[in-house]
Structure 1
Amino acid sequence: MIEARSLTKRYGAKTAVADLTFSVRPGVVTGFLGPNGSGKSTTMRMILGLDAPSSGCVTVNGKRYAAHAAPLREVGAMLEARAVHPGRSAFHHLLALAATTGIPRSRVEEVIDVAGLRKVARKRVGGFSLGMGQRLGIATALLGDPATVILDEPVNGLDPEGILWIRTLLKSLAAEGRTVLVSSHLMSEMALTAEHLIVIGRGRLIADAPVAEFTRSAARDVVFVRSAEAARLAALLAGPGVAVAPGERGGIDVTGLASERIGRIAAEHGIAVAELTPRQASLEEAFMELTRDAVEYQPTGRYAAGAAQEGRAA
Structure 2
Amino acid sequence: MSIEARGLSKRYGEKTAVEELTFTVRPGTVTGFLGPNGAGKSTTMRLILGLDRPTAGTVTVAGRPYAAHRAPLREVGALLEARSTHGGRSAYKHLLGLALTHGIPRSRVDEVIEAVGLTGVAKKRVGGFSLGMGQRLGIAAALLADPATVILDEPVNGLDPEGVRWIRNLLKSLAAEGRTVFVSSHLMSEMALTAEQLIIIGRGRLLADTTVHDFVRSAGRDEISLRSPEAARLRDLLAGPGITVTSDDAPDSLRVNGLGAEAIGRTAAEHGIPLFELTPHRVSLEDAFMELTRDAVEHHAAAPVPHHQEVAA
**Deviation for aligned residue 1:94:** 0.4
For structure 1, which segment, 170-179 or 255-264, has the greater mean C-alpha deviation from structure 2 after superposition?
A: 255-264
Match of 1:311 in 2: none
Alpha carbons of 1:245 and 1:118: their partners in 2 closer, same or farther (altered >3 Å)? Answer: farther
Distance 1:273 1:170 in 2: 43
**Deviation for aligned residue 1:239:** 6.9
For structure 1, which segment, 215-224 or 55-64, has the greater mean C-alpha deviation from structure 2 after superposition?
A: 215-224
Match of 1:57 in 2: 58
Larger Rg: 1 or 2? 2
Distance 1:174 1:202 in 2: 29
Distance 1:13 1:218 in 2: 34
* Corresponding residue SS for 2:294: helix
**Deviation for aligned residue 1:297:** 1.0
Question: 1:75-97, CA deviations, whole angstroms, 9 ceiling, x for partnerless residues?
Answer: 00001011011110000000111
**5+ long unaligned stretches in structure 1:** 305-314
Query: In the TM superposition, what are the counterparts of 1:30-109 in structure 2 within 5 Å?
Result: 30-109=31-110
Query: In the TM superposition, what are the counterparts of 1:1-314 in structure 2 within 5 Å?
Result: 1-234=2-235, 236-237=237-238, 242-246=244-248, 251-300=253-302, 302-303=303-304
Distance 2:153 2:245 in 1: 39
Report how many residues are paired: 302
Distance 1:207 1:85 in 2: 38
For structure 1, which segment, 182-191 or 228-237, has the greater mean C-alpha deviation from structure 2 after superposition?
A: 228-237
Q: What is the root-mean-square deviation in Å for CA atoms of aligned residues?
A: 2.0
* Corresponding residue SS for 2:295: helix
Contact 2:5 2:23 in 1 (8 A): yes
Distance 1:217 1:207 in 2: 11
Question: 1:14-44, CA deviations, whole angstroms, 9 ceiling, x for partnerless residues?
Answer: 1111110000010000100001111101100
Distance 1:246 1:213 in 2: 29
Q: Which of the two has greater helix per residue?
A: 1
Structure 1 length as normaliser, TM-score? 0.90
Alpha carbons of 1:267 and 1:169: their partners in 2 closer, same or farther (altered >3 Å)? Answer: same
**Deviation for aligned residue 1:251:** 4.4
Alpha carbons of 1:254 and 1:168: their partners in 2 closer, same or farther (altered >3 Å)? Answer: same
Alpha carbons of 1:247 and 1:98: their partners in 2 closer, same or farther (altered >3 Å)? Answer: farther
Distance 1:103 1:158 in 2: 28
**Deviation for aligned residue 1:277:** 3.7
**Deviation for aligned residue 1:268:** 4.9
Distance 1:36 1:238 in 2: 42
**5+ long unaligned stretches in structure 2:** 306-313
**Deviation for aligned residue 1:228:** 3.5
Q: Which amino acid aligns with 1:87?
A: G
Distance 1:151 1:260 in 2: 42
Alpha carbons of 1:294 and 1:265: their partners in 2 closer, same or farther (altered >3 Å)? Answer: same
Contact 1:227 1:274 in 2 (8 A): yes
Match of 1:312 in 2: none
Contact 2:200 2:209 in 1 (8 A): yes
**Deviation for aligned residue 1:11:** 1.1
Q: Which amino acid aligns with 1:262?
A: I
Contact 2:245 2:254 in 1 (8 A): no
Alpha carbons of 1:71 and 1:245: their partners in 2 closer, same or farther (altered >3 Å)? Answer: farther
Distance 1:251 1:299 in 2: 32
Q: Which amino acid aligns with 1:252?
A: L
Alpha carbons of 1:8 and 1:247: their partners in 2 closer, same or farther (altered >3 Å)? Answer: farther
Contact 2:104 2:145 in 1 (8 A): yes
Question: 1:137-178, CA deviations, whole angstroms, 9 ceiling, x for partnerless residues?
Answer: 110110110000000111111111111111110000000000
**Deviation for aligned residue 1:269:** 4.0
Distance 1:236 1:219 in 2: 23
Contact 1:247 1:253 in 2 (8 A): no
Q: Which amino acid aligns with 2:135?
A: Q
Question: 1:238-264, CA deviations, whole angstroms, 9 ceiling, x for partnerless residues?
Answer: 67751425389x743322333344334
